[in-house]
Structure 1
Amino acid sequence: MVRCWKRSENSLEEAQCTDGGPAASPQSHFPHKAFWVSLSASLLLVVIALGLTGHLGLSRPRSQSLQIVRITVPDQTGVVINQSAVVDQQNDLVTFSVTSQANQTSTVLFDIKHGLICYKPVDQDSCFLRKMEQSDYDNVHSLLHESTHKQSQFQLSGNETRRQTEFLGVLAASQVDMSTLEEPLKALCQDRSVHWTRRAKGPGKQRLVYFCIDICFPSNICVSVCFYYLPE
């Protein structure tokens, strides 16, 4: 240890200094401060960049998962039926827009995640709900998992298309509580009442079919879904 002496105005003061090294000046602290400021600014920029990337990454799959598939098929009289299906792979939704010859469009929503089908006819003030069956899953499977990756338009042949009719009885007395429905169904039927339906063999002679909706799938299957109201 080497003794160093520091001269003041009136006396000499004893101080310690390192062996042969000059005393550290206050200016030597500035490089360290600048380093930490630069490091903090860099970290802040990295956090902002990651936040923007995450936001874009979350919003991008929603837009990319939506695809419109058009299905064209002649009906039994030879008139070409045009309909479209919006396929949402991210949320397991397939929404059909079925346009009649009178240029009126009804909507049929397949909520695969919750196993429900919702019918929204254009000329009614109600929506009609039923649970999906295995045949329903099979019909929309090609749209949801296979066909969307290959093509966006299907032109079905009238000779090869299988046609069938399904009858659904409307349970008018059992109206659905809107608060129990999931968001896709709420958005579709927000201004209407919702009623449960059940599959039936037919309305019988004493009941009349109220309306029908024709839906065609890429698997060359067209289903005419006809509704009638069950007795109270």
Structure 2
Amino acid sequence: MGHRLVRCWNLPEATLEGECCLNGGSSASRHIPKKTLCVSVSASLLLVFLALGLIGHLGLPQQHSQSSQPVKFTSTDPFGVLLLNQSAAVDQQNGLVTFSVTAGANQTSTVLFDIKHGLICYRPVHQESCFLLTMETSDYENVQSVLQASVNKQSQFQLSVNETQRHTEFLGVRAASQADVSTLEEPLKLLCRDSPIYWTERVEGPGKQRLVYFCIDICFPNNICVSMCFYYLPE
């Protein structure tokens, strides 16, 4: 007569441990402590979560530092007087270059190049408005020099006064050309939050009957400095 394989479980009400036994064998040798097994699994899972948390804690700052690389620009005259004090934060992943231009008594204006969407956004100091401009070929070429400097890990540029090319561009602003903020990307919204945004266009000089309200000077690693001067066009 053959042996029959019998499986049985003994689950006392007062304990989480059970017994598994085979017919004809010792139940003590087949004993499986479920409580010990649960504690072991829980400890393993806890170690896994701690390891993932540590990796995330170490990895996120590294990713952030790679996505935003600072580049600083300075220039002095022959007597050592500081003529230019500006910096750029380069976000390679999102195609953003943000200039902080300091002039006068530590008054800083911000210029954002959104390369992916072909837009330049100006936020001048002491102005309650932002101004948008569509990028042209020269803008892409100039800002590309900043991106290349970031790739090459160049964090500081000392621009020579004698070698730097300088020119002025005039931007006309129409009061009725307010941009629809809902159509703009998040970086532009953050820069100009709670402020109206107006479209501008490159135009000829304002002429004697119009006044230039403000200018922002931006310099690039390719030794080109551009003075962007704004004035309001007649309605």
Q: TM-score range by the shorter chain?
A: 0.7 to 0.9
Per the alignment, do residues 152 and 38 of structure 1 end up closer, same or farther by CA in structure 2, a change over 3 Å counting? same
Q: Deviations over 1:144-163 (max 9, x none)?
A: 23345332111111111111
2:84 and 2:186 map into 1 onto residues whose CA distance is 30
- The amino acid of 2:169's aligned partner reads E
1:1-232 matched pairs, under 5 angstroms: 1=1, 22-25=24-27, 28-30=30-32, 34=36, 38-39=40-41, 41-54=43-56, 56-74=58-76, 80-232=83-235
Q: Distance in 2 between matches of 1:32 and 1:129?
A: 67
Cα offset, 1:79, TM superposition: 5.6
- Secondary structure in 2 aligned to 1:87? strand
Q: Secondary structure at the match of 2:32?
A: helix
> Quick one: distance in 1 between partners of 2:182 and 2:58?
31
What TM-score does the superposition give when structure 1 sets the normalisation length?
Answer: 0.80
* Cα deviation, residue 200, structure 1: 1.2
Q: CA deviation at 1:54?
A: 4.0
Report the CA distance between 1:196 and its aligned residue. 0.5
Conserved 8 A contact 1:69-1:148: no
| Superposition deviation, residue 51 in structure 1 | 4.9
Give the letter aligned to residue 222 of structure 1. C
Secondary structure at the aligned position of 2:161 is classed as: coil
Rounded to whole Å, the distance in 2 between the matches of 1:54 and 1:147 is 25
- Inter-CA distance 70–115: structure 2 relative to 1 (3 Å threshold): same
Once the two structures are TM-superposed, the CA of residue 224 in structure 1 deviates from its matched residue by: 0.5
CA distance in 2, matches of 1:46, 1:167: 59
Structure with the greater alpha carbon radius of gyration: 1
How many Å separate the matches in 2 of 1:157 and 1:89? Answer: 27
Question: Contact 2:90–2:150 at 8 Å: present in 1 too?
Answer: no
Tell me if structure 1 keeps the 8 A contact 2:70–2:87. Answer: yes
CA pair 24-124 structure 1, distance change in 2 beyond 3 A: same
Q: Percent identity?
A: 68
Runs of 4+ in 1 over 6 A off after TM superposition: none
Give CA-to-partner distance per residue, 1:117-143, whole Å, 9 cap, x none. Answer: 111111211111111112111111122
What is the RMSD of the two structures over their aligned residues, measured on CA atoms?
Answer: 3.0
Distance, in Å, in 1 between the alignment partners of 2:73 and 2:157 is 5
Aligned-partner Cα distance in 1 for 2:99–2:161: 20
Q: CA deviation at 1:176?
A: 1.6
2:7 aligned partner: none
Distance of aligned partners of 1:33 and 1:224 in 2 relative to their CA distance in 1, 3 Å threshold: same
What number of residue pairs does the alignment pair up?
217
Structure 1's unaligned 5+ residue stretches are 4-16
Q: Scaled by the length of structure 2, what TM-score is found?
A: 0.79
Aligned position for 1:7: none
Measure how far apart 1:27 and its partner are: 5.2
Q: 2-side partners of 1:103 and 1:114: how far apart?
A: 31
